Structure 1
């Protein structure tokens, strides 16, 4: 198996066409087809399904595509690590951020990277926590912001913040409470709760706290998209328990109302994680430090609301 075969395969899947991939790769289509045939023979599996509509990956091909991307990313990182200098880091750094964090962190971080390290290309990936863990383990991304649920031992992790979760409804909701007073956890879970699925870092945390109080979540509407979750809350289909960051603009406009949860506070801890097995490039290490600096600045200035900075070694 050769690296060029991996590049060819990834290009075909990305473009959905042998002819388009051949043009991008500057290789004759028959030669490209021959290389893919050799790759499939070595893998002893059909990786691509060809039809009049184009080319798509088979189930085996989808699995191989994930590994091929990770291998190519690590090769590129190795080249960058050798070529770049410590005083002027350059190259591509891939950072994964959960959907519920990106609204607070993504834009300030992009701005900071562009102004501080103009020769670094930051690739931001917004994903569910479970997907980020898989990508970080495989090397497809260099860094990831993850929820510290006590199971981050496979990674090199640095504490970032503790973030409080609130009971959030639309304004004048039938599930709302009067005034701005805190709502009890028992009261909060009486409403239909619009929550992410269990593969999302927020949901297991809520489930565990509710269970520890001798209660259960009886009426949950699972929505993994922040945009759809917002629409459902505004339509008063239910309430949610989330950090305010992904819904802050709606809260500040008065379209939604956030209440602290009294008694048993529900918080989540965020950590910045990297692989223990794959060394960071100079550029990735620079971005790692910048993520922590930007987070500290956002919290101290009150721009990342209802958060508390955590001690670091």
Structure 2
């Protein structure tokens, strides 16, 4: 008797949880696609999800389209206000959440067995901090906390807070964390001065400028949810000025490239453009009359359980702060205790 035909469109989702379906091929689904899909489903908007994930919107959309192609079914219905899940999308969301949690549990449990005292420290960093001291942190961790596996997660500050609340990171260094955020314990670390970044030219550019003069330039900035743009608009409003934001980009490399090419200037933290500043491709100016400053916090979940190697981890986190202060120099000052 012939084997009944199997509807691959309906069965494709089951490949995530089990194998052996007599379909033509297995779906090449990866964990990144599932994480992206879950975040889009949670916020209901691809643009917002791209901002929180620090991923360019076209790249995020491509990942979802590839996921839909592999599963041979639509997962999202796009409309002017965002997206809604199809029935297949609802099923995928439920199972993807379980699968991602299982993967995290597997990783933690396997690492715990690989060494008697092995622990996993997931630490969130903003892109500017990662660019400044990320590699150094990994080297320091190998020496200072050899029995702890360090995993660095790079996101914008508001994305790091969300990752902390979802239990995806143990600690994070994030800027401008709301004091009233429930379930999040914060400790102020340092106050950092933002810079006006311009393309290098043959002309001599002064080391300082005023906010009004800087705002005469066309700008490229991150989205409206980004802290730098919020600080800039707040400062400009005090003088009845308006930033001329010609480009908005969620990709930091894209922002830097536009400035290097001379298409725009930008208000940025030092770390965002550190390599281009060191090599002379970009020039920085400090704002003298209305300095733009932001506060860095070390955050963790309220009532988080202590690590077995907590003292060593605390020492390592303090070394991160010291490295960052050394990197920023006169652009930062320590706050808190």
TM-score by shorter chain over 0.5: yes
Distance 1:186 1:53 in 2: 52
- Residues 191 and 282 of structure 1: CA distance in aligned 2, closer, same or farther (over 3 Å): farther
Structure 1 position 197, deviation (Å):
1.0
Structure 1 position 269, deviation (Å):
1.0
Structure 2 unmatched runs, 5+:
1-11, 22-65, 76-87
Distance 1:148 1:208 in 2: 14
Residue 180 (structure 1) aligns with:
206
2:126 aligns with one of 98, 101, 116: 98
Structure 1 unmatched runs, 5+:
1-12, 23-27, 31-48
The answer as to whether partners of 1:93 and 1:283 remain within 8 angstroms in 2 is no
Distance 1:69 1:63 in 2: 10
Structure 1 position 232, deviation (Å):
0.7
The answer as to whether partners of 1:139 and 1:278 remain within 8 angstroms in 2 is no
Query: What secondary structure, in the 3-state scheme, does the structure 2 residue paired with 1:282 have?
Result: coil
The answer as to whether partners of 1:18 and 1:55 remain within 8 angstroms in 2 is no
Distance 1:298 1:130 in 2: 20
Query: What secondary structure, in the 3-state scheme, does the structure 1 residue paired with 2:244 have?
Result: coil
Residue 140 (structure 2) aligns with:
112
Residue 210 (structure 1) aligns with:
236
Which runs of 4 or more aligned residues in structure 1 lie more than 6 Å from their structure 2 counterparts after TM superposition? Answer: 49-52, 74-81
Structure 1 position 64, deviation (Å):
6.2
Which residues in structure 2 correspond to 1:204-283 (within 5 Å)?
204-283=230-309
Instruction: Please report the TM-score for the alignment, with normalisation by the length of structure 1.
Output: 0.71
- Residues 296 and 51 of structure 1: CA distance in aligned 2, closer, same or farther (over 3 Å): closer
Structure 1 position 69, deviation (Å):
3.8
1:311 aligned onto 2:308: no
Distance 1:285 1:84 in 2: 21
Distance 1:186 1:125 in 2: 36
1:163 aligns with one of 171, 180, 192: 192
Larger relative contact order (Cα-Cα within 8 Å, sequence gap ≥ 6) = 1
Cα-to-partner distance string for 1:119-159 (whole Å, 9 max, x where unaligned): 22211111122222211111111111111254464311122
Cα-to-partner distance string for 1:180-205 (whole Å, 9 max, x where unaligned): 23111011111111111123232222
Distance 2:251 2:104 in 1: 27
RMSD: 3.7
The answer as to whether partners of 1:142 and 1:280 remain within 8 angstroms in 2 is no
Distance 1:52 1:221 in 2: 32
1:147 aligns with one of 146, 155, 175: 175
Instruction: Please report the TM-score for the alignment, with normalisation by the length of structure 2.
Output: 0.67
Distance 2:98 2:159 in 1: 14
The answer as to whether partners of 2:191 and 2:335 remain within 8 angstroms in 1 is no
2:220 aligns with one of 169, 194, 201: 194
- Residues 305 and 279 of structure 1: CA distance in aligned 2, closer, same or farther (over 3 Å): same
